[in-house]
Amino acid sequence: MLESRNLVDVRSLWVSYRKPKWGGLRSSEIYVLKDITFQVGYGEVYGIVGASGSGKTTLLKSILGLVKPRKGKVFIGGKDIYSSSDAYKEVMSKIGYVSQDPYSSMDPRMKIGDIVGEPLRILKAPSATIAKYVEKVLELVHLSTSVIDKYPYQLSGGMLQRVAIARALILKPQLILLDEPTSFLDVVTQAEILAILKELRDITGCSYIIVSHDLSVVAYLSTKIAVLLRGYIVEEGAVNQVLYRPLHPYTQLLVESSKYIKSIEPEFSDVGCPMHKSCPWASSICEQEMPKVSMVNGAKVRCWKYSGGVQS
C-alpha cells in the first residue's frame, strides 16, 4: 500500500439512490450522503453517530466500494479505490467489515470454522494455514475452538458477533468497518463485545470506523466522533469536545436528551439545514441553505450560528 498521512481520506462524497415513482416509469434521485469529507489516521478509531436512515450503512458501503458515489473520492492508504479494479482489490484485502446483521451475513449451512476461514480460502491459502489462522482469531475474540464445528444457529447473538469480528480479522486488516456492532445485543453482551473491540485495537493497532445510533457506544471506542444528520456530517471533533462542549444544536440535543438518538425525533426538513424547524437559533438563511463547514476551537461544525448567518 502507498504510504500517506491518513489511512482513510474521504473527499466531498455525494451518494444517491433512485426512488421509483408510483404510476410512472420515471424515478427520482434521492441524495442520502451529502458532501461528506473526513479523514481517519493510522490506528485511529473514528466514530459516526446518527439516527436510523441518516446514511451510516451507505457511508460504510461506499468506503467498501459496494455503493458507487455520484461525486467525490475515497482514498485508502493513498489509493483512490474507484480508480481501477487492481487498486480496488489491493485495498479491499486490507479492510475487514462487520455488517449490521451477523445472521444474514453468514451462510446457515456453513460451519463456523469455514465461515471464519472463508476470506483465506478465497485467496486459495493452504488448509493447514487456514486452520491455524482460524484458531488464532477465535482466540483473539475469546471463543473456544469447540465452535469450529458448530453451525450459526447453535450460537448466541454475542458469540455470533465474535465470529463476525474474527472473520473480519483473519486477513490482518489495517482497517475494520463496524456497522452497529452491538445494536441487537443485550446490555451485558454489548459491554463484552465493546471490551473485546477495544482490546483488539490495542493488540493489532488497526484503525476502526464504527457507526452506531448510540452515542455511548461510539464514545467508548472512538478517538474522534462525527455526527451524521440526514446525510450531512454536522459536527466532528474529539470525543470530549463532542460530549462536553457540543456545538451543533442537533449534537446538543443528542447529548442532552438521551443515550439513544432513536428516541429523539425533532421535525426535519429537506430544504436548507435539516434541523431548522426545531432549532432555537434558526433564522431565514437556515431555511434556505446548508452552511459550509466552519472550524471552532479545533472542531468542525456545519451551522449558520458559527458561519455568521445567525444573530446571537
**Cβ at position 124, least distance to Mg ion in Å:** 33
The one-letter amino acid at 9: D
* Smaller CB separation from ligand ATP, 52 or 146: 52
Check residue 99 for interaction with Mg ion (CB under 5 A): no
Site string for Mg ion, 49-88 (x = CB under 5 A): -------xx-------------------------------
Q: Which of 220, 282, 218 is nearest to 250 (CA)?
A: 282
How far is 196 from 67, CA to CA, in rounded Å?
A: 29
- Looking at beta carbons only, is 213 or 276 nearer to ligand ATP? 213
- Identify what 307 binds: ligand ATP, Mg ion, none; CB under 5 to 8 Å per kind: none
- Among ligand ATP, Mg ion, none, the one that 182 touches (CB under a kind-dependent 5 to 8 A) is none
* Closest distance of CB 89 from Mg ion, Å: 25
Residue 17's binding partner out of ligand ATP, Mg ion, none, with CB under 5 to 8 Å set by partner kind: ligand ATP
71 - beta bridge partners?
A: 14
User: Shortest gap between Cβ of 260 and ligand ATP (angstroms)?
Assistant: 11
Distance CA 11, CA 62 (A): 12
- Least Å distance between CB 2 and Mg ion? 30
- Nine-digit cell string for 1: 500500500
What residues line the site for ligand ATP (CB under 6 A)? Answer: 17, 32, 50, 52-58, 100, 213
> Given the complex with ligand ATP, which of 34 and 56 has the nearer CB atom?
56
Q: Which of Mg ion, ligand ATP, none binds 54 (CB below 5-8 Å, type-dependent)? A: ligand ATP
Measured from each CB, the residue nearest to Mg ion is: 57
Please check whether residue 78 is in contact with residue 3, taking contact to mean a CB–CB distance below 8 angstroms: yes
CB atoms within 10 A of CB 34: 18
Q: Residue 148 or residue 254: which is nearer to ligand ATP going by CB?
A: 254
Residue 182 binding Mg ion, by CB under 5 A: no
Long-range pairs of 245-254 with CB within 8 A, sequence gap ≥ 24: 245/297, 245/299, 247/296, 247/299, 247/301, 247/303, 247/306, 248/275, 248/301, 248/302, 248/303, 249/275, 249/278, 249/279, 249/280, 249/281, 249/303, 249/305, 250/275, 251/227, 253/278, 254/49, 254/215, 254/227
The partner in contact with residue 52, picked from ligand ATP, Mg ion, none with C-beta cut-offs of 5 to 8 angstroms by kind, is ligand ATP
- Give the contacts of 170 (CB within 8 A, at least 6 positions apart): 96, 116, 117, 119, 120, 133, 134, 137
Q: Smallest gap, in angstroms, from Cβ of residue 18 to ligand ATP?
A: 7
Interacting residues toward Mg ion by CB under 5 A: 56-57, 100
